[in-house]
Chain A
C-alpha cells in the first residue's frame, strides 16, 4: 500500500448534505457503482476500566444481514489488526472460540468482561469508483448514521494511488466534506456525555494543598464513594470479578482514611461510619476470596505435574459452587436497606457544608500539612518495624508490616496530586515493589490454610483420593513459595530503605519549604 499519510481518507458529511444528495453529486463527477447497500449496526466494546482502549485497541462488532464480525483496530493508525467472523459477542475471554481473538485479547483483557459502550445503527453503502474499463480503482465506504453525521471513508486500492488522491481532493474541494479522525467512538460517547477512559481503578484525586483538611478529606471520601457506587451494579450482577475487587478497594481506602486522618471530622461520625465500612469489608470478603482462588486456578494447575492436572477439577467445582452461593448472598445484601440507606447517609453527610468553626483539632490545618505529617509518621513506622524483623521474627510481624505499608500506600495515593509527579510516582513504585514480597508471603500462607480447610470440607463430598494428593502438592508448593518470599524479605527491605529512597521520602514529605 502506498504511504497515505497526508492524503485525507476519512470524512464527515456536512449536516445539511443528505446522503442521497451526496451520491448524486458524486455521480456527476465520477463513474460509480454501489455494490452494496445495507442496514448495519456497529457496536463498540471495552472493559469497564477501558483496558482495550488503554492498550491502543478499538473493538468493533459489526452486524448486518450478510456479516457479523469482530474487528480490532489500532486506535492511532486505524488499521485493522484482526477481523474475524463472530455470531455473538461474548462477555468473558473464555467464551471466545476463535484462538486468534483469544491470543490478542487475553494479555490485555485478562479476567475483565467486555461491555457494550455504544450501538450505532447506520445505513452503509459500498461505492466503487470505476475507470473507463469498469475497473474499480478506489472504494468509498459511506456510513449514514442515525444519530451522528454521516461519514465517508476512502479505501485505496493497491496500485491506484492517483485515483485515491483524485477522490480525496474531490471530496475535500468539490464536495466540501470535512476531514475527520476515523474513530467515531468519541463522537458517539459524547452523545451520552461520556468520554474514553472515564473510569480507572487508579485514584486520581486533584487536591489544592491549601485546602482545609476537613473539606479536602470529605472530597477524598466523595471520590471513593463514587468508585463504590459505579462498581455496585457490576458487583451485584457478577459481570466480572473486578467490580467487587474495585468496590472493596474503595471501601478499604475509605476505612483507612477514616482511621488515619484523625481529628479532622467529628469523632461520632467517623466512628459510626467506620463501623459501617468495616461491615462492608466483612460481607464482601468471602466472595472475593473465592474469586481469587478461581482466578488463581490456572496457576494452581500449572504447578501440578501433567498427569495430575485433571485431579484438581473437583476443587474447581467445589470453589465455583461456593463462589456462586457467596456471590448471591452478597448481591442480596447489597440490595438491602441496611446497605443502601447507610450509604445514602454517608453521601449526604459528605455533601453537608463544612462547619464554620469545627471543634476537631486538625480540621483547620491545610491538607498538605496533614498529608506531610501523616505520611512521614507512617513511613517512619514502616522503617522501624521493618528493621526490627530478623530471621527469627514470627510471621505475624510481617503481616503487621504489610498492613502498615498498605496504610502508607493509601495515604500516598490520596495525596499524590500535591507532590512532584515523577518523584512521588517513583516513591510509590518502590513501595509497591516492597509490598509485593509481603503480599506473596501472606497470600501463600492464607491460601495454604484455605486449601487445608477446603480439603476438610471436601471429605464429605466423595472426592477422589487423587484430588487430595494434588491439593497436597499445591500446599507444599505454596509453602515453598512462602519460604522463598521470607528469604527475599531482608534484601527487598534493604532496597526499600536504601539511602536514595530515604532521601526521596524526606524530600517529599519532611522538608519544609
Chain B
C-alpha cells in the first residue's frame, strides 16, 4: 500500500481537485483506492456526493474507538472508497495533541486497512500543524501543488526545509505546477526558473481549466462527466509520473 498526501501550506492551490482526480484515475486503472478527506470543509467528500459525517466525530476516530473500515463509504466508481470528512475535524489538532505520540497517530489508524487498499490518498487542509506532521509520518509521497507565482518559490523552500529539519527521509516530496496559464508570461518565466532550481519538480503540470472548476457543479471527478480533455490528459500524465515514483 502506498499513501499519497495532497498537501500544501497554502490554501486554494488545487489539493482537493488533484486528490479527487488522482484517486479516480488510480481506481480506474485497477488500484483499490481510498481517499481520506481530512479537511473539515469536506470538499472531496462533497465531490463524491457523500454526507460529511463521521459517527463519533474526530475524537472517537483519532482514539481508534471506531473501526476505520466501518466509517468508509463506497463511491459511485469501481475500486474507489471514501473516508468522509466531518465538521469536527476542525479541531483535529487539539484531539491529536491530547494523545501520546500524536504524530504517529494517522499511520497507526491506517494499519488495519493496509491490506485492503493499494493506494490511500489523503486530502489535507492547508497550513503546517500537528495534523500535517501526522500526515507526513503516514505518507510515502507528499504531492504538493504549486501555482507559479513569486511567492511559490518561498513556499516550496519552506516545505523542503521542514522535511529536512525533521529528518523525514521516508517521504518523497513531489511538487508540481497547478493552475498554470501558458498565456501568462509571468507563469512561463517562473516555471522555467523553478524547473532549473528544483529538478525534483514533476514534469506534468495541471493547467487552469474551466472543466476542473465545473467539478463542483457536477459533483464528480472529471472522468465521471468528460471523456477526454486537456485537463484529463494532465491528470493522467501526473498519475503516470506518480506511478513511477511509487515503484
Contact = CB atoms under 8 A, between A and B. Distances in A.
A83 B87 CA distance: 39
B64 interface: no
Interface in B206-247: 219
A133 interface: yes
A448 B72 CA distance: 63
B74 A134 contact: no
Contacts of A135: 48-50, 76
A154 to B, nearest CB: 14
Interface string B176-209: 0000000000000000000000000000000000
Interface string A99-121: 00000000000000000000000
A202 interface: no
Contacts, number: 26
B172 to A, nearest CB: 30
Contacts of A160: 73-74
B94 interface: no
* Chain A interface, DSSP helix/strand/loop, else mixed: loop
A159 interface: yes
B225 to A, nearest CB: 12
B74 A133 contact: no
B174 to A, nearest CB: 29
B72 A159 contact: yes
Contact of A158 (B48, B49, B51, B81): B81
B115 to A, nearest CB: 14
Contacts of A134: 49, 219
Interface in A118-145: 128, 133-136
A133 B81 CA distance: 17
A157 interface: yes
A160 B84 CA distance: 13
B63 interface: no
B50 to A, nearest CB: 6
Interface in A139-175: 157-160
Contacts of B50: 133, 135
B71 interface: yes
Contacts of A136: 76
A313 to B, nearest CB: 37
Nearest to A136: B76
B49 A157 contact: no
Given A134-B49, A135-B49, A158 B76 contact: no
B73 A159 contact: yes
A159 B51 CA distance: 11
Of the listed residues A134, A136, A157, A159, the one surrounded by the most CB atoms of chain B closer than 10 A to its CB is: A159
A159 B71 contact: yes
A354 B76 CA distance: 70
Which 9 A-B residue pairs are closest in the complex by CB-CB distance? A159-B73, A135-B49, A158-B74, A157-B74, A133-B49, A136-B76, A159-B72, A158-B72, A159-B74
16 contacts: A133-B49, A133-B219, A134-B49, A135-B48, A135-B50, A136-B76, A157-B73, A157-B74, A158-B72, A158-B73, A158-B74, A158-B81, A159-B74, A159-B81, A160-B73, A160-B74
Given A135-B49, A158-B74, 16 more contacts: A128-B76, A133-B49, A133-B51, A134-B49, A134-B219, A135-B50, A135-B76, A157-B73, A157-B74, A158-B72, A158-B73, A158-B81, A159-B70, A159-B71, A159-B74, A160-B73
